[in-house]
Amino acid sequence: MRSVAAALAAATAAVLALAACGNGTGGSKEDTGTLTEIDYYEAAPQNTQLPKLLDECGAQVGVKIGHQQVPRAQFMPKLLQQASSRSLPDLALVDNPDLPQLAATGGLVALKDLSTDGLYPSIVAAGKYKGDTYGIAPGVNGLALYYNQDLFAQAGLQAPKTWDELTAAAKALTKANRYGIAFSAVGTEEGSFQFEPFFWTAGASLSRLDSPEAVKALRLWKDLVEARAASKSVVTWTQADVNDQFMAGNAAMMVNGPWQLPTLNKRQDLKFGIVPIPIPSPTAKPVTPLGGEMWTVGHSNPQREAKALAVLKCLLSQDKSLEWSKAAGYIPSNQAAAQQLAQSDPQLSAFVEEVATAQARTAELGTAYPKASEALFNAIQACLAGGKSPEEALKAAQASVG
């Protein structure tokens, strides 16, 4: 998961500064033997594995693919400038909450001719804008509940499935300098992302931030902090900080994503399990936010677009989806590949289980999502750090979005 509000704010400020730039990805619109691709991966394994997959799929289609990596802060400004001049790359891998803004420019190809058979409907739905599909993710990430198995065994506890069980376990496992649970309530998109599983599972909607369901979800977090079952410092912790607290034994549980597994698995002395995010009641529907990036195709000419779609079809195939997800720490969008991954790697089974009912952050509001997200993480801060009640904080949040 990456910050949306900050990226979009940077995009607005920097578009004009980039107006004089070309697409910079190599090739021309007339050269159908070379396609262009752009993404923002700066670190391994993504930035090493992606060019390899692109070369393999390009070879299948009979094209070379010019790969370009742009720093995250510059990525959306560059794409928006290119969209305005109709010079988008043939393929771009964009953060899924950024998709509506990019699709609204008219610079993307609607993926009507691309089969989505075998893909999770929730993931396909995440790539829609005004009824048409403009992006499809090869893999996604999300959030689940990690728990320290040794601490749970010592306390005679089972992994929680409901909010009541979560609260009871968090309180029981809070001892001295150890908190029962850690989560990120930081004042950025990261905080909204971590809160949304509780917010949506309670039945709340981003179109009404101060609903009784939303209040119920925020009260859960506030009660955990006030009971000292969660640290007051959650308002400053990023997801990386949360992982550090869990690894150090300062938290018995944490809310986090699959991207933490490589670091966690290096600790041979840390025994942990992973279960889906607890739900308010046994009959509640679990809903977690989808994280990850989507492939898009930029408008060019029919020949180039057809070849770009053929490459995209390759990238979304069962074997490539599985290969990419294993390398990047994601869950494949292809259902068969996801089940295959869950069977081969039980640590990912909770994340796979959640994908079927997961939801894109922009599903309700589209391009208005960043404003609602900012209002939501400000409400979380006002409640957990500022002393406001959940009702007061969320009422102010709703008023700020109109």
Query: Which amino acid, residue 230?
Result: A
Tell the burial category of 249 from Cβ atoms under 10 Å away from its Cβ (0-12, 13-18, 19+).
middle
pTM of the model: 0.84
For residue range 249-266, list pLDDT tens digits in order: 999 999 999 989 989 999
**Parallel/antiparallel/unpaired status of strands 132-133 and 34-39:** unpaired
Give every residue of the chain whose pLDDT is below 50, as ranges.
Answer: 2-27
pLDDT of residue 46: 87
Dist CA 246 CA 252 (whole Å): 7
Ranges of beta strands (E only) in 169-251 are none
3-state helix, strand, coil in the chain (%, to 5): 50, 15, 35
- pLDDT at residue 29, as a whole number: 57
Q: What percentage of residues in the chain have a pLDDT greater than 90?
A: 84
Task: Print burial letters for 325-340: b (CB count within 10 Å at least 16), e (below 16).
Answer: bbbbbbbbbbbebbeb
Tens digit of each residue's pLDDT (9 = 90 or more) over 325-368: 988 889 999 999 999 999 999 999 999 999 989 999 999 999 99
Which tokens hold the place of 200?
């949506």
